[in-house]
Amino acid sequence: MKIGTIEFKYKKDALLYFKKILKTYDYGQSLKTNHFNDVFMLLETHKKAKEKIGVGIKEIRVDEITYNTKCFQIIRNDLTSEIFSYIKCINGSTPPFTKFSKVCREIVNDDMREVKLLYFKNHSKKGRVKCQETRELCLWNELSVDHRQPNTFSMIVERFIELNKIDIKK
């Protein structure tokens, strides 16, 4: 796989390279010239590159999206901005099931937060609760609410699609 002038043997090598660039910077920091050039070449591989680049790129920064996740932010010459995913640039478009599942996860996010709040309210001792998996006392930010085997979230989504006869490609 080739991105600009950089040759990667595998996709995972490219993913690791751009992830390392993200980790090099704090939120809000602009990329230095060598990293800017590499990330710009990556951006040019995006299926909507012309739209993303627009009137030209003034700088590229590291930004924060949900759950303390870092991403690249484009600052255009007209000072408009937009974030983009290096993973999407490398892997291509997201499969329909992944998109649908992500939307489903966002829809139930508030309910999951309420479940977690209630659990902490009923079981917390000095701001910690016992993890149901490890049995260790953990803080709020150390735990997540999720489904257990065999009823994983993706299994629930698959069954929902089947029962409701949803064409996720549409």
Please, what CATH class does the domain formed by 2-91 belong to?
A: alpha beta
The reported pLDDT for the residue numbered 7 is 92
**Which two three-digit tokens encode residue 167?**
């064409």
In terms of phi and psi (left: phi > 0; alpha: psi -120 to 50; beta: otherwise), the region of 24 is alpha
Q: Where in the chain is the domain with CATH 3.10.450.40?
A: 2-91
Cα distances (angstroms) measured from residue 87 to each of 42, 68, 93: 10, 16, 9
CA–CA distance, 34 with 159 (Å, rounded to integer): 47
Q: What percent of the chain has pLDDT over 70?
A: 100
**Phi and psi at residue 47, in whole multiples of 5°?**
-65, -20
Quote the CA–CA distance of 15 and 87 in Å, as a whole number: 7
The predicted-structure confidence for 2-48, as pLDDT tens digits, reads as follows: 898 899 999 999 999 999 999 999 999 999 999 999 999 999 988 88
Lowest mean pLDDT among 2-16, 86-100, 153-167: 86-100
Q: pLDDT digit string (tens) for 116-149?
A: 999 999 999 999 998 888 889 999 888 877 777 7
> Taking a C-beta distance cutoff of 8 angstroms, is the pair 74, 82 a contact?
yes
pLDDT of residue 92: 79
Contact 101, 153 (CB under 8 A): yes
